[in-house]
A and B are shown apart, each in its own frame.
Chain A
């Protein structure tokens, strides 16, 4: 069974940093594109970033470029999101999501974690 388990969320003040983690199991993690998707309270879904299987390619939504960094450790079956210079508008549940093994199908997500809540408030 595919499982994705996020952790690392919490309450931080504007300008602070946080590192989210996602541990994968039940599939060959190193074979898949992986993404982070967020959802502000009561709002819709927003794709944040994704990363290629070997970590060589990374893409971000404009609103987080230069502040967030996606990374992975295939030996640990883990995906990370480093969040710096946090703003109130970054408050959301952050989901780890599995893409695909091929570049053409990488952009839809067939498995999701339960999410971890990041709250940015003074």
Chain B
């Protein structure tokens, strides 16, 4: 199975900050990568797919990039509603696998 890693595992940030989360795949996955946001007690919410395609309705402050094994999710200007846990997920091959998550909390 392809192993997904994320860094950092957690960090504190302030509203207005620019934040970047990194995701790495143990082998090449082309651009078959999605990003999700999850808030406590809620189901995950798709933000991005195909590495850099923003899902309709998701604010443009979220951007994704990368291909192969290295990917990033950037939030250009953190808003209060963005404090959550973020997961990357590869869908290049079965079994689909998620990263361990990156928790973004308030500084």
Contact = CB atoms under 8 A, between A and B. Distances in A.
Contact of B44 (A60, A106, A112): A112
B43 A108 contact: no
Contact of B43 (A60, A107, A115): A115
Contacts of A50: 96
B46 A47 contact: no
Contacts of A110: 46, 49, 55
Which of B87, B96, B97, B100: most chain A Cβ within 10 A?
B96
Interface of A is mostly: mixed
Interface in A78-111: 95, 105-110
B32 A45 contact: no
Contacts of A61: 1, 95
A107 B46 contact: no
A107 B100 contact: no
Contacts of B92: 107
B44 A45 contact: yes
B34 interface: yes
Interface residues of A, number: 22
Interface string B69-91: 00000000000000000010111
B97 to A, nearest CB: 7
Contacts of B96: 35, 47, 50, 107
Given A44-B101, A113-B43, A114-B43, A108 B95 contact: no
B94 to A, nearest CB: 5
Nearest to A106: B91
A62 interface: yes
